[in-house]
Amino acid sequence: MMPPESLKMRVLEAVRQHPVPRRTDPLPFTIGLAAFAAVAMSGVLLWVPPLFGEVAGLAHAAGRPASSGAWILAGTVALALASTWLVLPSRRSMLSPPRGLLLAVGIGVPLLVGAWLVLWHGTYADPFTRVGWRCFALTALTAPWPFATLAYASRRVEPRHPGTAGAALGSVAGAWAAVMVELWCPLATGSHVLLGHVLPLLVLALAGSAFGVRLFRLPRV
Amino acid sequence: MQAVMGQVALMMDGRSDVGAAGASRADRAMERYACGEDAAFGDVYDELAPRLHRFALRWTRSRSAAEDAVQQTLLQIHAARHRFARGAAVVPWAYAIARRLLIDLGRRGVREVLRADDVRDPEEPSAAPSPEEALHHRRVAAEARRNLASLPSGWREAFELVKFEGLSVAETAEVLGITRGMVKIRAHRATAALREEARRLHGSSESTTRPALRSPRDIEGGTPT
């Protein structure tokens, strides 16, 4: 059964009455946004720690052996890159990856970030002890910038599971935030990692889910 | 409902009418529209509307609700014109939007009413050659419709998209947001359940007494995936 001709007239008339601009290339703005995010994240790392009475920048992690720091950083960067590649929609699709994959990223990334850090616990003596609230706050302040970039890069209508897509993006943004925070934090104790590095990523996943429902759901037309 | 019975018959023969005709034309039309050719939306409509209308009609069993869903889907596509990714496939995306709109429609209570057993399938022919045949057709159609409707929603959706809408496994996976393997499993389970019921139906139509229908869950002995 074919749709009636009147339906076509209605649809075309509605389209005529509410014109939408043609497609523009999102890449230049995405790159600009990513560069801005990197600068903003660095700014957080430089200007926020003194507010807690801590040393700013890389100097704070001086007590950690350079090789350990490099390995920790390399692993987290690899995780952030891989998870970014997994959650962004492919070029030939308007839809996000399968829900299972998004869920795996949303839950798995925080756990992997924590596991990777704890793996290095014991390979060097922690220079000092902290509960982890500073790292929590730094992660929370650093993550919105990559989240904004990722949300813009995947600015597609997601009619199936916008909340899950947002949660995955929140976790990935958290992974990029973790890269920056691990440049600053030299600690790898289990309790510190759990509170300061894993918990904020889980919170970011939840926040991303809430944002995702608003950002990616079908708009009212 | 003839389509259901025809599909079950095809499955019994080990064949399927899966095809992707129109998909590439729809993609090209959408690409032209996204690039700024306003008139191309008419082509997008021509390629998508009949498929979406059939899909929505099967889902809602109401012409007005189906037309509303098609209109909303196409307007959503229009609204996302500036965001349409270069080279993206428009068909799975359109089906995913339509499915979401239909789910929302169902949540407002429309689907429950429209899926009631006494609502006639719009694709069903209005006249039958004889009263006996008409009665038989109606019984068979009602049984098939009940069997399809009683499948777990995940199985039914995968089955309908692959077998009735002619989407590929990859496209169906995109529409449903699941993996290709899961699509195959769900469609296979739905097929097995419907095939079993069709066999039972065929057997019972030759005998005078017909046993009560079992649900596909009983047949499979499993849980929805």
For the segment A98-143, what is each residue's pLDDT rounded down to a tens digit?
999 999 999 999 999 999 999 998 888 888 888 889 999 999 999 9
Q: Which residues of B touch A160 (CB under 8 A)?
A: 96, 99-100, 175-177
The chain-wide mean pLDDT, for chain B, equals 76
φ and ψ of A218, to 5 deg = -65, 130
Residue B92 CA to residue B73 CA, distance in Å, equals 12
At residue B22, the pLDDT reads 44
Residue B149's CB is within 10 A of a number of other CB atoms, namely: 12
3-state secondary structure of A76: helix
Tokens representing A158 are: 């997601």
* Torsion of the alpha carbons at A47, A53, A58 and A64, rounded to the nearest 10: -160
Own/partner contacts of A50-57, CB < 8 Å, gap of 24 or more, are A52/A134, A52/A137, A54/A134, A57/A184
Give residue-wise pLDDT tens across range A44-59: 999 999 998 888 888 8
Chosen for mutation from A9, A16, A22 (greatest number of chain B CBs closer than 10 Å) is: A22
- B172: domain range? 2-207
- CA-nearest residue of chain B to A96? B177
- What DSSP assignment string belongs to B159-211? HIIIIIS---HHHHHHHHTS-HHHHHHHHHHHHHHHHHHHHHHHHHHHSSS-P
State how far residue B220 is from chain A, nearest Cα, in angstroms.
Answer: 24
Ranges B151-165, B171-185, B208-222: which has the least confidence: B208-222
Chosen for mutation from A17, A20, A27 (greatest number of chain B CBs closer than 10 Å) is: A20
The C-alpha angle with vertex A22 and arms to A17 and A24, in degrees rounded to 5, equals: 150
What ranges do the domains of chain A cover? 26-216
Contacts of A7 (CB under 8 A, 6+ apart): B49, B53, B67, B70, B71
Size of interface A-B (CB pairs under 8 A): 136
3-state secondary structure of A121: strand
State how far residue A101 is from chain B, nearest Cα, in angstroms.
Answer: 9
Residue A85 CA to residue A171 CA, distance in Å, equals 13
Q: Which residues of A touch B79 (CB under 8 A)?
A: 18, 20, 219, 221
Tokens representing B6 are: 């025809």
| pLDDT of A182 higher than 80 | yes
Q: Which residues of A touch B78 (CB under 8 A)?
A: 14-15, 18, 20, 221
At residue B19, the pLDDT reads 39
Q: pLDDT band at B221, cuts 50/70/90?
A: very low
Structurally, chain B folds into a number of domains equal to 1
What are A121's strand-pairing partners?
A124
Name the DSSP class of B122: T
Q: Which residues of A touch B89 (CB under 8 A)?
A: 92-94
**B33 belongs to a structural domain:** yes
Note whether B108 contacts A: Cβ–Cβ < 8 A. no
Which CATH number fits the domain that encloses residue B80?
1.20.140.160
Contacts of B55 (CB under 8 A, 6+ apart): B95, B98, B160, B164, B165
Instruction: Let me know: does A2 contact B36? Beta carbons within 8 Å.
Output: no
Answer yes or no: do B83 and A221 touch at CB < 8 A: no
| pLDDT of A195 higher than 90 | yes
Give residue-wise pLDDT tens across range B1-41: 454 454 444 444 333 333 344 447 899 999 999 999 999 99
**B220 belongs to a structural domain:** no
Q: pLDDT band at B206, cuts 50/70/90?
A: low
At residue A91, the pLDDT reads 65
Give residue-wise pLDDT tens across range A56-80: 888 888 888 999 999 999 999 999 9
Q: Which of A12, A21, A95 minimises the CB distance to B42?
A: A12
Note whether B21 contacts A: Cβ–Cβ < 8 A. no
- What DSSP assignment string belongs to B76-103? HHHHTGGGPPTT--HHHHHHHHHHHHHH
